[in-house]
Amino acid sequence: MSINRKKLGALLGVVAIGIAVASTAGAASQGSPGVTKNSITIGGTFPLSGPASLYATIAGAEQAYYGYVNAHGGVNGRKINDIVLDDQYNPSKTIVKVKQLVENDHVFAVVGGLGTAPGLATWNYLNNKGVPQVLLATGDAYWGTCTATGSAFTPKPYCSKPKPWTMGWQPDYPGEAKLYAKYILTNKKTPHIGILYQNDAYGQNYLDAFNKALGSHTGDVVDAEPYNFTDSSTVVSAHVQALAAHGANTVVIFATPAASIAALATITGIKAATHGAFSPLTLLNNVSANRVFLIAAQGAHANVNNVVSTTYIKSQSATPKDSAMILAKKIINATGNAGLQQQFAAGDNNLIYGLASAWTFVDALKHAGATPTRSSLMKALRNLNETGANRNPFVFPGMDVKTSSTRTFPMEQLQFEQWKGQTNACNPNTEVNCGDWRKLGVVLNSGS
Amino acid sequence: MERLKTADVGQVAIAVVLLAGAIALLVCSLGSTKFATSTVAGVALGLVYGSLALALVLIYQATHVINFAQGELAMFTTYIAYQLIQWGLSYWEAFFATLAIAFLLGTVLQVAVIRPVQHRSVIATVIVTVGLFILIDGVVNWIWGGSFRSLPSPFGIASYDVGGVPIEHLWVWQAGVVLAGLAGVWALFRFTKLGLAMRAAALRPASAALAGVRVEVMLAIGWGLAALLGAVAGLMTEPSQYFLDQAFMQPILVYAFAAAALGGLESPAGAVVGGIAIGVLQTLMVGYVPQITSELQLPLAFALILAVLLVKPNGLFGRRQVQRV
Amino acid sequence: MRRRLPAVVSVPGVAGVLVVLPFILSSYHTFLAAEVGVFFVAVLGLNILTGYTGQISIGHGAFMAIGGYTTAVMSRDHHTNLILTILVAFAICFVVGLLFGLPALRLSGAYLALATFALAISVPQLPLQWSRYLGGSGGVQSPETKGNVWIYGAAWSVSAVLFLLAWLILRGRVGRAFRAVRDSEIAAVASGVEIGVYKTLAFGISAAYCGAAGALFVIASNGFAQPDQFNVALSLQLLIGAAVAGLGSLWGILAGAAFVGLLPNISPSVPIIGSEQGRDVVYGLLVVLVMLVLPGGLAGLPARLRSLRRGLNRKSKPVKLRGSSSQ
């Protein structure tokens, strides 16, 4: 064996350990955590790689918005520095990253973290330390029901003590499921409902609320098929086949994007195979209703016309001339990030989500006083009033983002929408002739 | 190469059981359209598992390495096909070009990364393939990012209607390709000098070298062929997964391992049969035994395989390895 | 003859450094050092199985899962002292490891690897099935959250105790039997070693260690246990750590634990990495390169360096043809 190899080996070993140690070095901070005279440091954990990395664009959009705000002087003269860390959707990694944010990077607040299990893994730690864990990018009920304070709080199996430092943002999944149940009962004469849901707390959240909202009509549910997040698309497809076999004429999908695409493609397949006998009313949860997923489904030969879903943010593809969408395009272009720009052009709604969420944070920060503290930030977040003249420009027209001592979910409204305009000439790569979401009805209340 | 003709009774018994199972499936399918649809879908799924299992078995037979990176390699070559199509090639041009690229990639990897460790412990080679897994994942994410891409099936969703049971054109093609691959691998090892040389190089490198076999070349070719088979598996699997994303081969890899273990790592036919068995079992469970909720599917599948391995430690079709002292 | 566990000199040295470390490092870095301690226990255990006894396992993450859930559930339901839960996890996993090791005797090589792989995949699914007791996908949360220094102390104390235990086990007949099994099963049988007993024992011991590591892992994770934390990637990480560690010297295991505990978490701001994806590429490359270039793992590094120095010396002096040649 040559000497060079040995040298290389020794060097590698030393370098590897050296990198590992050096990389964990963090910046020191002075004064109140994360707040200096001219900057505020916040942070969040996102799945930038690994199974859920589709949502990475949310983090990119949030950083883009803070960049825009900074370019216009920041908030009270402070520029916002947003540290985004990758937790690969693995709760134990989330804990390491959150500890890094709090103890090493000394962030002012943990903002916008994505995922339910990651959030659950860290909410005890953050609440014990009094660090705001806010604007979580997930709609599970935990973030509203457990975060009420004082007499408004009722203990639940998953939270015996209140978590006053935690707060969600988007309309919660149970509220959404409730509206779908109402929609079916109103619009389908004799519904035979088949439900495809993800077999974890996320999917269960939807399912339980849906069944509850059906009330005396729970007998209309002919089949409910659970699938695992890690199942291959063929297995998901088999579940959809089972729904059809049970005679469903309405299919409700409470899934994540990959499974939803498989489900939509399968529905089209069965429709073709049965010569149109199976042609269900299809409802899709809004997490899976991002335009890019519907386009991808069309690439998989799905016919998604007339699929129904809901939204709570504006769409850059449906209303490109809206002043907020023009602003959004400007903000994304200003980042110089080609990937983000491409996704924006493709109609990735997650970008608008990110901008909207970041707008709320900045709004709260503006109301947190000349020198914000963690308590004053929470107070501002619990008294949001993005209504009327102070409306969040990125949420759907007419929707409020509002909190109070009795209202712990900032957003409690949804707008129904239906996909129209897909033709046989659809080219998924150019997105021409593939249709888009069209408004269906008026803004509805999804709160309890 | 020694072959011990032991336990042929066992082999016959297994063949009989499998045949009985197949006949039972056929009879039930004739009786119920729903059963038939589930079974056909299960066979299609099983062919997907079998195609990747075939690549795993080929590498094992030719180089005695378990390649954890097989699925990711297949995914990588599928992305290459996607990119070629983006650059203007037609589907079939890209298909064959990708096969060639895959072969090259396989041989290069073997020479660069596996050759230095293959004569050491099993663990070293396993770790290297695990490292490759992580590396390829990172590279794909780096180049193409995480978004969904469309690589549509060349057959669309057209399907034949056989007595009310939909059989997609895609599935027929998959079956044809897998069987052709299986026949090719079998013929390679049974009838060709190259195949003989490859098996000798894997089993008895020292003796083979003495007999004039260029061992290193054989091992590289083995990897190249396996990568080629893997590329085929990836290209065939992708349409049935509906879209192209980084993780699409990972659940397949798990079941492909199961299929290879079930059928025996030494038996290409066993791998394919194992795959089909697993696929059919899965779809039938989904359709008929809803009490077996989805969380238990994987554990049950593996419990089954463990049970089989306990009775037949070299898989259903494997041969017991006898070591001379 | 490979070096066994290290001389009496280096152990107190390392121990001394470990005691002083929390006073020097920041709270966050203490936490990272604690994570390395958790992996130390796991890699130490797995190393007994793979390095000393030559059996492969891609499934020891499953034992970490069992140990971890033991801690979380006992703490949540009975408010058991956390240290006690580590002991219970150790004991339970020892038994489970033995139970798995027995049927595993029938398997070897690739099939054993696949069987352990099956374990790694199946076990984390179980809490999803029995979600009433095991929390399902919402996980199990222990009411106790410990500070970084506590976690560090627990992790490294357990490491020290288990290291001593391993040293005691491996220096005697058991260790010799393990090595005999690894070096040549046929010769071992011929020498009267009951390989079945020792293989099973190796499984049990390594499982017990990983169970303790799992308990510590959950404690370090704010007392939260959830299936995604124990996925296949964890089992692969442990195996990488054990292989990179080489053959069980203290330094090797420390290096292996640091390798898998710290490297995957490198910040992308370090040069040459540049992004999250770049980090995965670099990590994968390093894994491959370490295996290629250091056959004895990082434990073989000092020997390599020594022979490197010897090789350099030999170049300048005339060759002395006495004694055996070195590598």
Q: What is the pLDDT of residues A382-441, one digit of tens each?
A: 999 999 888 999 999 999 999 988 888 899 999 999 999 998 888 887 888 899 999 999
The least confident of A259-273, B168-182, B309-323 is B309-323
Q: Which of A215, A224, A214, A274 is nearest to A248 (CA)?
A: A224
Q: Please tell me which of the candidates C35, C223, C267 has its beta carbon nearest to residue A23.
A: C267
Inform me whether the C-beta atom of residue B34 falls under 8 Å from chain A C-beta atoms. yes
Distance CA C84, CA C77 (A): 14
In one letter, which amino acid is C88? V
Report the topology of domain A173-311+414-445. Rossmann fold (3.40.50)
Separation in Å, CA B83 to CA B80, B87, B91, B236:
5, 6, 11, 16
Return the axis-axis angle of helices B169-191 and B33-63, rounded to nearest 10°.
Answer: 30
Inform me whether the C-beta atom of residue C220 falls under 8 Å from chain B C-beta atoms. no
Cβ contacts of A117 on chain C, cutoff 8 Å: 137-139, 226, 228
* pLDDT of res. B292: 64
Domains delineated in chain C: 10-262 (1.10.3470), 271-315 (no CATH)
Most confident of A199-203, B2-6, B265-269, C161-165: C161-165
Q: Please tell me which of the candidates B60, B134, B305 has its beta carbon nearest to residue C118.
A: B305
Q: How far is C63 from chain B, CA to nearest CA, in Å?
A: 15
Whether C284 and B134 lie within 8 Å, measured CB to CB: yes
Q: Is the model's pLDDT at B182 over the cut of 90?
A: no
* pLDDT of res. A402: 92
Separation in Å, CA A401 to CA A137, A381, C166:
15, 10, 59
* pLDDT of res. C291: 84
The first and second tokens of residue C275, run together, are 């992004």
* pLDDT of res. C205: 95
Q: What is the mean pLDDT of residues A14-33?
A: 51
Q: Which of C230, C232, C325, C241 is nearest to C290 (CA)?
A: C241
Q: What is the pLDDT of residues C103-123, one digit of tens each?
A: 888 887 778 888 888 888 888
**A contact chains, 3+ CB pairs < 8 A:** B, C
Q: Please tell me which of the candidates A17, A90, A99 has its beta carbon nearest to residue C255.
A: A17
Whether C265 and A200 lie within 8 Å, measured CB to CB: no
Q: Is the model's pLDDT at C162 over the cut of 90?
A: yes
Which DSSP state fits C52? I
Residues 55-94 of C with CB under 8 A from A: none
Q: What is the mean pLDDT of residues B50-73?
A: 89
Cα A350 to chain centroid, rounded: 7
Residues 6+ apart with CB under 8 A from A383: A367, A403, A404
Q: Which of C114, C227, C121 is nearest to B297 (CA)?
A: C121
Domains A32-171+315-411 and A173-311+414-445 share a fold: yes
Residues 6+ apart with CB under 8 A from A329: A316, A344
Cite the DSSP H helix spans in A105-230. Answer: 116-129, 142-145, 173-187, 201-214
* pLDDT band for position A3 (cuts 50, 70, 90): very low
Cβ contacts of C239 on chain B, cutoff 8 Å: 123, 126-127, 130
* pLDDT of res. A77: 92
In a 3-state reduction of DSSP, which class is residue C256?
Answer: helix
Q: What is the mean pLDDT of residues C222-226?
A: 91
Judge: domain A32-171+315-411, CATH 3.90.920.20. Answer: no
ipTM surpassing 0.85: no
Report chain C's C-alpha Rg in angstroms.
20
CA torsion, points B102, B103, B108, B111, in degrees to nearest 10?
Answer: 140
Residues 175-194 of C with CB under 8 A from B: 186, 190
Q: What is the mean pLDDT of residues B292-298?
A: 69
Provide the number of CB pairs (under 8 Å) joining chain A to chain B: 120
Cβ contacts of A235 on chain B, cutoff 8 Å: 45, 251, 282-283, 286, 297
Inform me whether the C-beta atom of residue C266 falls under 8 Å from chain B C-beta atoms. no
State the CB neighbour count (10 A cutoff) for residue C236.
23
Average pLDDT, rounded, for chain A: 87
Q: Where are the domains of chain B?
A: 8-311
Q: Is the model's pLDDT at C327 over the cut of 60?
A: no
Inform me whether the C-beta atom of residue C299 falls under 8 Å from chain B C-beta atoms. no
Distance CA B59, CA C85 (A): 44
Residues 6+ apart with CB under 8 A from B278: B46, B49, B255, B258, B259, B262, B301
Report chain A's C-alpha Rg in angstroms.
23
Q: What is the mean pLDDT of residues C110-137?
A: 84
Residues 6+ apart with CB under 8 A from B14: B312, B316, B317
Residues 250-279 of B with CB under 8 A from C: 254, 257-258, 260-261, 265
Q: How far is C307 from chain A, CA to nearest CA, in Å?
A: 9
Cβ contacts of C327 on chain A, cutoff 8 Å: 1
Inform me whether the C-beta atom of residue C283 falls under 8 Å from chain B C-beta atoms. yes
Q: Say what percent of chain A tops pLDDT 70.
A: 93
* pLDDT band for position A274 (cuts 50, 70, 90): confident
Q: How far is C105 from chain A, CA to nearest CA, in Å?
A: 31
Q: What is the mean pLDDT of residues C199-206?
A: 93
Separation in Å, CA B58 to CA A361, B222, B227:
56, 7, 10
What is the DSSP annotation of C21-36?
HHHHS-HHHHHHHHHH
In one letter, which amino acid is C178? F
Chain A's closest residue to C35, CA to CA, is A96
Q: Please tell me which of the candidates B122, B132, B323 has its beta carbon nearest to residue C288.
A: B132
Q: What is the pLDDT of residues A316-333, one digit of tens each?
A: 999 999 999 999 999 999
Distance CA A353, CA A446 (A): 18
Do the strands B165-168 and B159-162 form a parallel or antiparallel pair, or are they unpaired?
A: antiparallel
* pLDDT of res. B5: 53
Inform me whether the C-beta atom of residue A294 falls under 8 Å from chain B C-beta atoms. no
Inform me whether the C-beta atom of residue B110 falls under 8 Å from chain A C-beta atoms. no
Residues 5-64 of C with CB under 8 A from B: 50, 54, 56, 58
Q: Where are the domains of chain A?
A: 32-171+315-411, 173-311+414-445
Report chain B's C-alpha Rg in angstroms.
20
Distance CA C287, CA C296 (A): 14
* pLDDT band for position C296 (cuts 50, 70, 90): low
Query: Does residue A206 contact residue A242 with C-beta atoms inside 8 Å?
Result: no
Most confident of A27-31, A386-390, B261-265: A386-390
Cβ contacts of C32 on chain A, cutoff 8 Å: 24, 96
Cβ contacts of A227 on chain B, cutoff 8 Å: 294
Inform me whether the C-beta atom of residue A427 falls under 8 Å from chain B C-beta atoms. no
Distance CA A282, CA A302 (A): 12
Cβ contacts of C137 on chain A, cutoff 8 Å: 117, 199-202
- Half-sphere exposure at residue B37, Cβ-oriented, CA atoms within 13 angstroms: 24
Q: Please tell me which of the candidates C107, C244, C279 has its beta carbon nearest to residue B309.
A: C107
